[in-house]
């Protein structure tokens, strides 16, 4: 008899709990109350401070200087220096690019203490597997140049390259000739160093992903496949402008660049044709990694659009 009464008591308690739950669900809306009960069994959400910290880590991951703070400042190159890994451990992927006012070349120099006079750098703790020269045709673009150098130096250091940056400046008031400056840059760079690879780099294009390796392929490489100017898409198949890479052998095989394009445009298409006529083809990184942000500007005086482009 006692056992029977106990069972009835538990049954009534269970029914009472059900009635309370139903009342709560109907009082302020089913969805709201179901959410409340589900929270009881879920892990607690991140606190606001934890959420802030995670956000801060994400932002820091896009800082092009983030992985370079622990590099040694002593250049201890010698016969026993090990080769750098085939894939650099410093590569971080996407880079946050912005153009803050007030940036100076002195600040660029301060943030790159391992770069020596002449824009030269070697990894301090290992022997680089690749030697790359960067050729930048230039005139009246000092404002753009400081932003490019601010991002390009750490970008190349994260890839553990031995590199040199050559700014090839056209003096005077003659019409600008980009391709001719690149020919000059090739000659001057190769006089100083036996470079494996030469990147011909517009001054107003900033790379947005350091997985876009500044090394040469078996064929000429077009690195700037996805510019924000073109909606991060390749404008047409034979486009070879912006940022491109050649080995010394590629350059000689295609007989360098044309010298007869004065003003803006035309020479990059000619170069693409030269690649094809030399029996080579254009390689490219993926649209995901070959992203570049362009510094917006108007056409310079003396660099009007080439009417024959």
Q: How confident is the model at residue 173 (pLDDT cuts 50, 70, 90)?
A: confident
pTM of the full predicted structure? 0.76
Enumerate residues 6+ apart whose C-beta is below 8 A from 304: 175, 263, 264
The token pair that represents 37 in the structure block: 């009960």
**Domain count within the chain:** 1
Answer whether residue 185 shows pLDDT above 60.
yes
Domain membership flag for residue 3: no
Answer whether residue 298 shows pLDDT above 90.
no
* Interhelix angle 30-41/2-27, nearest 10 degrees: 120
The token pair that represents 138 in the structure block: 């230039």
Note down the domain range covering 134: 61-67+83-294
| Range scoring the smallest mean pLDDT among 64-78, 81-95, 232-246, 263-277 | 64-78
Question: Looking at residue 165, which CATH number applies to its domain?
Answer: 3.90.550.10
* CA–CA distance, 73 with 6 (Å, rounded to integer): 80
Domain membership flag for residue 221: yes
The length of the chain in residues reads 309
* CA–CA distance, 217 with 27 (Å, rounded to integer): 69
pLDDT at 41: 39
pLDDT at 107: 95
The token pair that represents 33 in the structure block: 């109350």
CA 301 to the chain's CA centroid: 30
Domain membership flag for residue 132: yes
Other CB atoms closer than 10 Å to residue 244's CB: what's the count?
25
Domain membership flag for residue 212: yes
The token pair that represents 295 in the structure block: 């510094």
Domain membership flag for residue 96: yes
Domain membership flag for residue 74: no
Provide the percentage of residues in the chain whose pLDDT is more than 70: 73
Question: Token match 């394009």: residue?
Answer: 261
* CA–CA distance, 269 with 283 (Å, rounded to integer): 15
pLDDT at 64: 92
Containing 221, the helix (H) or strand (E) segment is strand 221-222
Per-residue model confidence as pLDDT tens digits over 30-40: 444 444 443 43
Q: Give me the phi and psi of 120, to 5 degrees please.
A: -105, 145
CA 211 to the chain's CA centroid: 7
Per-residue model confidence as pLDDT tens digits over 226-244: 999 999 999 998 899 999 9
* CA–CA distance, 302 with 166 (Å, rounded to integer): 22
Average pLDDT for 169-195: 93
Domain membership flag for residue 140: yes
pLDDT at 300: 59
Q: How confident is the model at residue 20 (pLDDT cuts 50, 70, 90)?
A: low
CA 65 to the chain's CA centroid: 12
Domain membership flag for residue 215: yes
- Residue ranges in 201-265 assigned as alpha helix (H): 248-253
Answer whether residue 63 shows pLDDT above 80.
yes
């Amino acid at each position: 008899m006692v056992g029977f009464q106990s069972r009835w008591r538990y049954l009534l308690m269970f029914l009472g709990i059900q009635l309370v739950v139903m009342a709560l669900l109907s009082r302020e809306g089913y969805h709201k109350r179901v959410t409340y009960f589900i929270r009881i069994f879920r892990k607690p959400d991140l606190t606001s401070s934890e959420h802030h910290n995670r956000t801060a880590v994400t932002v820091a991951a896009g800082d092009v200087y983030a992985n370079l703070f622990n590099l040694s400042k002593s250049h201890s190159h010698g016969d026993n220096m090990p080769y750098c890994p085939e894939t650099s451990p410093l590569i971080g992927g996407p880079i946050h690019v912005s153009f803050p006012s007030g940036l100076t070349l002195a600040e660029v120099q301060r943030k790159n203490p391992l770069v020596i006079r002449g824009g030269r750098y070697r990894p301090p703790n290992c022997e680089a597997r690749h030697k790359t020269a960067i050729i930048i045709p230039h005139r009246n673009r000092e404002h753009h140049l400081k932003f490019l150098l601010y991002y390009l130096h750490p970008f190349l250091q994260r890839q553990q390259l031995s590199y040199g940056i050559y700014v090839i400046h056209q003096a005077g008031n003659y019409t600008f000739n980009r391709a001719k400056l690149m020919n000059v840059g090739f000659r001057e760079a190769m006089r100083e160093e036996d470079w494996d690879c030469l990147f011909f780099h517009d001054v107003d294009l900033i790379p947005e992903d350091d997985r876009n390796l500044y090394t040469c392929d078996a064929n000429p490489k077009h690195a700037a496949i996805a510019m924000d100017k073109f909606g991060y898409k390749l404008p047409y198949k034979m486009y070879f402008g912006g940022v491109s890479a050649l080995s010394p052998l590629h350059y000689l095989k295609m007989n360098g660049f044309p010298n007869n394009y004065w003003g803006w445009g035309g020479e990059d298409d000619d170069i693409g044709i030269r690649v094809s006529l030399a029996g080579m083809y254009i390689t490219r990184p993926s649209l995901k990694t070959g992203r570049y942000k362009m510094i917006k500007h108007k056409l310079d005086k003396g660099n009007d659009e080439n009417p024959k482009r």
